[in-house]
Structure 1
Amino acid sequence: MSAEKADYAGFNEGLCQFLSQATTPFHAVRAMAERLESAGFQALSESESWTLESGGRYYTTRNDSSLIAFVHGTEDPAESGARLVGAHTDSPNLAVKPVPEHSSGGYYRLGVEVYGGVLLNPWFDRDLSMAGRVSYEDGPGNLKTALVDFRKPLAVIPSLAIHLDREANKQRSINPQKHILPVLGQLGEGESPDFRALLRKQLLLEHPQADVATVLDYEIAFYDTQAASMVGLQQEFLASARLDNLLSCYVGLQALLSADNTHTAVLVCNDHEEVGSLSAAGAQGPMLSSVLRRIAGDEESYARLVQRSMLVSADNAHGIHPNYPDKHDNNHGPVLNHGPVLKLNANQRYASNSETTGLFRLLAKQVDVPLQAFVVRTDMACGSTIGPITAGETGIRTLDVGVPTFAMHSIRELAGYRDGCDLARVLGQFYRHPGAVVI
C-alpha cells in the first residue's frame, strides 16, 4: 500500500471507530473528550475559574452535548487572532417521547418525536437500537446523570406490505404520529410496558456501581445498528449513519490534534444545529463567545481577537446525484472524492465571501488538495449551517465548507473515502500556517 493510500485508510479506520461510538451528541462529546485527554488536553469546567497557560491545551463541554477544545497560543490571541473550526454534534433522529409506551395488539411500541429534518422512508425495516442521557435519583435523593447505549438491535419499524398498499411505489405518505412507532417486542397477558424500568435496568448494566433509585427523565433516541463501512468496487465510498455532521467533528478534531502551540486554535462542536441552533449549547447561544472572552482576558482584547480571527464552518455538502442531476446547478455539482467543497450563497445562507474562500483556496493549494464549489440551483431553496449563525453572534469572518455527500439526512449517508482526510489536511494547514488569518 502506498503512503497516500495508507493515510486515507488510517483516517477512515479512525473515523469508523468514532462513528460507532458517537451514537448520540452526548456520546460524540464523550468520544472526542477521550481523544483530547489522550492527547494531553486538560478539561475545564465553565463554572470554575480558569488559569490558562501560554501553549496550554484545554477543552470544555456544555450540556454534555457541545464541546469547545482549544490550544492557547504562545502568540497573544489579541494580536494574532484565533483560528476556529466549527461543526455540530447532532443528526436528525427519532427521539423517544416522555410518555412513550404503546401496547396496541399486544405489541410493545414506543412513541417518538421527529428531531430535525429526517428523511423518514429509510427508517423502515432497519435494526434499531437506543442511546442517550438519563437523569435519575440515587438512594440519598441526589440528582445524577449517566449515558446509556443499548448497542444491540432491539426495535424495528416494519413497513406495510405492498399487498395492503398497492400505490406504495408511486406515492407513499408517512404520518409520523401513526406510522413510525418502533416495535420493541410482544407483551404477555396482563403485562404493561414500562420504559423507565427498561432504562433503569440498562443503567445498572452499564454503570453497576450506580445507586439508581428512580429514573426521573431522559433524552433517548433511536439509531441504526449497522456499522460504518467502506463500499464500492474499489472501496471508494464510506457509508454510515450520522455522517452529517460527525464526519466534520472528526475532521476538525484530527486537524486540532495536529496544531502546534504558536497560534490560538479552536474547535467548536455545537449541539442543536438540526433544529435551528437556538439553545444554551447551540451556535446561536453564548457558549463560544463566553469561551473566547476567557481566552482573550478582557473586553478590549476580545474585540481585537474577534477582528483578527476566522471561523471555518464545516458541514456536509450535497454531491451531485447521478440519478438526479437535474437537482443541481450544472456548473456547481460536487463529485465525491474530488475534494472538499466551498459552499456559497448570495443570500447569506452560507457565510462564505471572496476573502474567506480566497484564503481557503490558498491553504488548499499549499497542501495540494483539490477544491470544488457548491451553489444551489437558483430556483431552489438553500439550506444553512452554523456558519451564518456564528458569524452573526460573534462578528468573526466565516467560511462554509464541507465534504460532498449523498442521501443527507437519511438513516445512512454516503461520502467519498478521500474527502474527509483531504479536508483535515487543509484545516491542519489553517491551524498551523503563519499569518493565515490576519489579512
Structure 2
Amino acid sequence: MSAPHRLDRGHTDDLMTFLAASPTPYHAVANAAERLEKAGFRQVSETDAWDAETSGASASGSGGKYVLRGGAIIAWYVPEGAAPHTPYRIVGAHTDSPNLRVKPLPDLGAHGWRQVAVEIYGGPLMNSWLDRDLGLAGRLTLRDGSTRLVNVDRPLLRVPQLAIHLDRAVSAEGLKLDKQRHMQPIWGLGNDVRDGDLIAFLEEESGLGAGEVTGWDLMTHSVEAPAYLGRGKELVAGPRMDNLLSVHAGVAALTAVAGGSKLPYIPVLAAFDHEENGSQSDTGADGPLLGGILERSVFARGGSYEDRARAFAGTVCLSSDTGHAVHPNYAERHDPTHHPRVNGGPILKVNVNNRYATDGSGRAVWAAACEKAGVPFQSFVSNNSMPCGTTIGPITAARHGIKTVDIGVAILSMHSVRELCGADDPHLLANALVAFLEG
C-alpha cells in the first residue's frame, strides 16, 4: 500500500514565501541554510579539518551538516552507525535563474535618464522583463573580505518598451530586442551621471560606510509577489520557479527524513549555481564541489578509497529541474504523444541522446519512489524536430560516475520573469523526494 502524502498545499504556500525571499542564488542558499538550521543541521567549513564529528557521524546529536559556497549549498544527513561505504541518495537542483546582472561599471545614462548597465545572464525571455517594476539584489564584498547580502525589494528600475507609435510594425512582425541597446534599465533622472553612484546608493541602503564595498554580484528581480491564479486557485504564478521550486522541495524533503536512524542511504541535497550558463564554475555542477564533499564525508568516517568507490557505485541522484507542460496555444511544439499537464504530478524527463540522464533502470527507481509516496508521475520527451534542453543530470552522472535520473515539475513560461505551475505539483514533487531519500 502506498504511503499517504506528507506535504500538502501548505507546502505550496511556503514555496511562495521562499520564492519571494530568494531574489538571487545567494539569498536562496541563505534561506535554505536557515531552514536546515531549524531542523538541527549545522554548517561546516571547507577550510577546517573534517573528523567523525564534522562529517555527521557523531553518536550524539543530529547528523545533519551543510556547506555553503557562494550561491551553492550541499547538505547531508548521516544516520548513526552508517558505514563509510554507505551509498548516497542525492536530490540535485540549481539556484540560478536567467536575469539581468549589473556590469563592473554600472553607472550609465543618456538624454537626461540615469541608467544601470546590465549584462544578460542565461537565456531569459527578454520581452518579459519589459515594463516591470524591478528591484536589485545580490552580494556585496567589503574591504575586509567579508560579504553582505543586499535586497532592494521595491520598485527601483524599469526597462521601458518603445511605444507602439514609434514601432508600428511590432504587432505584425514581432518584437525585436537588441541585448546591448534595448535592455538597459532606467532608475532616475539627471545629466550628472558619476561613477560609483549605484554602489554608493547600495552602501547607504545596507548601512555601510562610503567606500566599504569593493566587489559586487548584483542582479535585477521583479518585485511582484508570487500569487495563486485561476478560478479555483489551482495555479501559481511567480518568479524563479526554474529552479527554486526544486531547491525548496529538496530542503523540505531532506529535513523531513533527517533524524531517521534506519535510513539505508545517506540523504543529500546538492543545489548548484550557474546551471543556466553551463555549470562550469567552482559552485556549478561541473565543478568538484559535490564530489569533494562526499569524498571527505567518507574519509572523515574512517573510510578508504575503496569505501568511496563502493559508496559512489551504489549512489543515485535525482536531478530535479522544471520541464515543459503542454501549452494550449502551441500544442504542436510538443511531442504528439507526451503532453505533461500541470497538477498531473512530477515529470520523468527522457532523451536518448543523453541531454537528460534517465535510463530504464533510473526510471524504475523513480517509479518506486512515486509509488511509495502515492504520487502520480508523467513522462516528458521533446518533439523530435525541436532541440532538447539539458540539466545538471548528465553532468553529474559523467563527472561522478553515479546513476542519475532527470525529473521535475511541468511549468509554462519557462525563463520568463514570471513562470506558471500547478498549485499541487510542488507538494507532489516534495513527497516523491521524501520517499526517494528514505529508500
Cα offsets for 1:102-148 (capped at 9, x unmatched)? 121111101110000111001000000000011122xxxx2222110
Instruction: Work out whether 1:9 is the aligned partner of 2:12.
Output: no
Picking from 414, 421, 429, the partner of 1:408 is: 414
Please give the per-residue CA displacement for 1:7-39, whole angstroms capped at 9, x wherever unaligned.
532111111111111110000010000000011
Question: Equivalent of 2:187, from 160, 163, 184?
Answer: 184
SS in 1 for 2:179: coil
Where does structure 2 lack aligned partners over 5 or more consecutive residues?
none
Query: Could you tell me which of 347, 356, 359 is aligned with 1:353?
Result: 359
Structure 1: how far apart are the matches of 2:157 and 2:287?
35
* Alignment check: 8 A CA contact 2:7 2:431 kept: no
2:66 counterpart residue number: 59
Counterparts of 2:63 and 2:392, CA distance in 1 = 27
Match of 1:385 among 387, 391, 402: 391
Structure 2 letter corresponding to 1:67: I
Partner residue, 1:436: none
Partner of 2:297: 295
Deviation at 1:6, TM superposition (A): 11
Tell me if the contact between 2:56 and 2:65 (Cα under 8 Å) persists in the aligned partners. Answer: no
The corresponding residue for 1:275 is: 277
C-alpha contact (below 8 Å) 2:7/2:430 kept by paired residues: no
In the superposition, relative to structure 1, how do residues 230 and 5 fare at CA in structure 2: closer, same or farther (>3 Å)?
farther
Q: Does 1:37 find its partner at 2:37?
A: yes
Cα distance, 1:190 vs structure 2? 4.4
**Identity between Structure 1 and Structure 2 (%):** 39
| Partner SS for 2:150 | strand
Cα shift at 1:309: 0.7
**Secondary structure, in 3 states, of the residue corresponding to 2:205?**
helix
Aligned partner of 1:437 in structure 2 is none
1:306 is aligned to 312
Aligned-partner SS, 2:169: coil
**Aligned pair partner of 1:163 in 147, 162, 165:** 165
Letter in 1 for 2:240: R
Question: What SS class does the counterpart of residue 274 from structure 1 fall into?
Answer: helix
Question: Could you list the runs of 4 or more consecutive aligned residues of structure 1 that deviate by over 6 angstroms after TM superposition?
Answer: none
What SS class does the counterpart of residue 109 from structure 1 fall into? strand
Shift of the 5–44 alpha-carbon distance from structure 1 to 2, 3 Å rule, reads closer
Following TM superposition, by how much is the alpha carbon of 1:200 offset from its aligned partner in structure 2, in angstroms?
1.4
Is residue 230 of structure 1 aligned with residue 228 of structure 2?
A: yes
Q: Distance in 2 between matches of 1:118 and 1:276?
A: 14
Deviation of 1:5 after TM superposition, in Å, equals 11
**Structure 1 residue 402, shift from structure 2 partner:** 0.6
* Equivalent residue runs for 1:9-408 within 5 Å: 9-51=9-51, 52-54=55-57, 56-63=63-70, 65-74=71-80, 76-137=82-143, 142-169=144-171, 170-187=173-190, 190=192, 192=194, 194-204=197-207, 213-259=211-257, 260-261=260-261, 262=263, 263-297=265-299, 298-408=304-414
> Contact (CA 8 Å) 1:312, 1:401: kept in 2 or not?
yes
Contact conserved, 1:136 with 1:212, CA < 8 A, in 2? no
1:79 shift after superposition: 4.4
Q: Which amino acid aligns with 2:182?
A: H
Greater CA drift, 357-366 or 373-382:
357-366
Q: 1:146 to 1:420 in 2, by over 3 A?
A: same
SS at match of 1:150: strand
Question: d(CA) in 1 for partners of 2:398 and 2:236?
Answer: 34
Q: What letter matches 2:162 in structure 1?
A: L
Equivalent residue letter for 2:174: Q
Instruction: Report how many aligned residue pairs link the two structures.
Output: 419
Whole-Å Cα distance in 1 between the matches of residues 192 and 10 of structure 2?
53
Structure 1 residues 190 and 69, CA, compared in 2 at 3 Å: closer, same or farther? Answer: closer
Q: Is the 8 A contact 1:73 1:265 kept in 2?
A: no
Preserved contact between residue 229 and residue 240 of structure 1 (Cα < 8 Å): yes
TM-score using structure 2 length: 0.92
| 1:46 CA drift (Å) | 0.6
Q: Could you tell me how far apart the structure 1 residues matched to 2:332 and 2:157 are? A: 37
Q: Is the 8 A contact 2:393 2:404 kept in 1?
A: yes
2-structure distance, mates of 1:190, 1:111: 16
* Structure 1 range deviating more: 249-258 or 71-80: 71-80
The answer to whether the 8 Å contact 1:343/1:350 transfers is: yes
Distance (Å, rounded) in 2 between the aligned partners of 1:7 and 1:303: 35
Give the letter for the 2:392 counterpart: I
Question: Given the two structures, how large is their TM-score scaled by the length of structure 1?
Answer: 0.92
Cα distance 1:117–1:106, how it changes in 2: closer, same or farther (>3 A)? same
SS for the counterpart of 2:170 is: coil
Give, in whole Å, the separation in 2 of the partners of 1:202 and 1:190: 21
After superposition, the C-alpha distances for 1:261-295 in whole angstroms (9 at most, x for unaligned) are 43311000000000100011100000000011012
Q: CA deviation at 1:73?
A: 2.6
Between the aligned partners of 1:109 and 1:131, the Cα distance in structure 2 is: 16
Coordinate RMSD, CA, aligned: 1.6
Provide the C-alpha distance between the structure 2 equivalents of 1:99 and 1:45, rounded to a whole number of angstroms: 33
Q: Larger deviation: 353-362 or 67-76?
A: 67-76
- In the TM superposition, what is the alpha-carbon distance from 1:431 to its structure 2 partner? 1.1
Partner of 2:436: 430
State the shift of 1:368 in Å. Answer: 1.5
What amino acid maps onto 1:203 in structure 2?
Answer: S
Q: Following TM superposition, by how much is the alpha carbon of 1:80 offset from its aligned partner in structure 2, in angstroms?
A: 3.7
Task: Structure 1: state its 5+ residue gaps.
Answer: 205-209, 434-439
Q: Secondary structure at the match of 1:252?
A: helix
